[in-house]
Amino acid sequence: MTEKRKIILIAVAIGTIAAAGTRVGTAIAAQNTGAQAQSSGATADSKQKEKKLVAGEGEAKRLLLLMDRDQNGKVSRQEFMSFMEEEFQLLDVNKDGELDVRELTQSRLVPHGGVHR
């Protein structure tokens, strides 16, 4: 798997973890408001998710470096969309304008050479 693809997959995972962490945090807060915290299990789970988010921070920074074309430390909508368009074109092996399961599966197994920039 190329470094770029690995970073993209990690970024997607970070987003998913962040969304799940927010939902879990909201649910835990709601439970604690109505009743006493049941055990340290919920706290341990929350801390584990927090550690995963912190661990993914380095990968997110690397992704930012790939996407940030003007190197201002931020990714604009245009930079993001441009990056994703290029990624789509790389994944769309048969150039039909759609990604199927085979193309997505192969993209993880067969690395394409080159650097995004």
What is the per-residue pLDDT for 57? Answer: 85
CA–CA gap between residue 42 and residue 40 (Å, rounded): 5
Return averaged pLDDT per consecutive 10 residues of the chain, 117 residues in all: 69 63 55 53 78 80 90 94 92 93 72 41
Q: Where would I find the H helices in 1-117?
A: 3-34, 40-67, 77-91, 101-109
**Model pTM greater than 0.75?**
no
65: its two tokens: 């470096």
Q: How many CA atoms lie within 13 A of 69 on its CB side?
A: 11
Residues 98, 31: Cα–Cα separation, whole Å: 44
Buried b (16+ CB within 10 A) or exposed e, 48-58: ebeeeeeebee
Please write down the HEC assignment for all residues of 74-89: CCCHHHHHHHHHHHHH
Query: Torsion-angle region of residue 97: left (phi > 0), alpha (psi -120 to 50) or beta?
Result: left
* Ranges of each domain in the chain: 3-109
